Amino acid sequence: MSSYDNQNIFAKILRGEIPCDKIYEDDYVLSFKDISPQAPSHILVIPKGPYKDINDFSKNANNEELIGFNRAISIIADQLKLSEESGGKGYRLISNAGSDSHQEVPHLHIHLLAGRKLGPMLIPEKS
């Protein structure tokens, strides 16, 4: 059973209690700029439903929500001209889930990163 903390910062953004730099919104998602960008384009995509991470979402969201969320990623990547199909050079998606992953905000979010060569996926562990 997953518990969702409705006082997390993205829940407050969804309720309009905290502002965001909005990129895109539809019935299923809200997308906005990350406040601390790690790449020239660093966008967050969050579902409107109360899901704490991708594990919770994949298991408990209904089909409409699952499809809406996935579709929104390509809509945003195309609109921002980041996808190769839209003339961009591609992008990386990251979604942290749980403490080992370094998830800080317990509302599902996909980081969409682009705008420079992003290098290898992970920094190697120090020996």
**Is residue 100 part of the contact set for ligand AMP (CB under 6 A)?**
no
**Is residue 9 part of the contact set for ligand AMP (CB under 6 A)?**
yes
Tell me whether residue 55 or residue 103 sits nearer to ligand AMP (CB atom).
103
In angstroms, the CA 32 to CA 87 distance is 22
Among the candidate windows 55-63, 64-72, 97-105, 116-124, which touches ligand AMP by CB under 6 A?
Answer: 97-105
In angstroms, the CA 60 to CA 15 distance is 21
Residue 121: burial class (beta carbons within 10 Å; 0-12, 13-18, 19+): exposed
In angstroms, the CA 109 to CA 112 distance is 9
* Residues 21-60: x where in contact with ligand AMP by CB under 6 A, - otherwise, as a string: -----------x-xxx-------x----------------
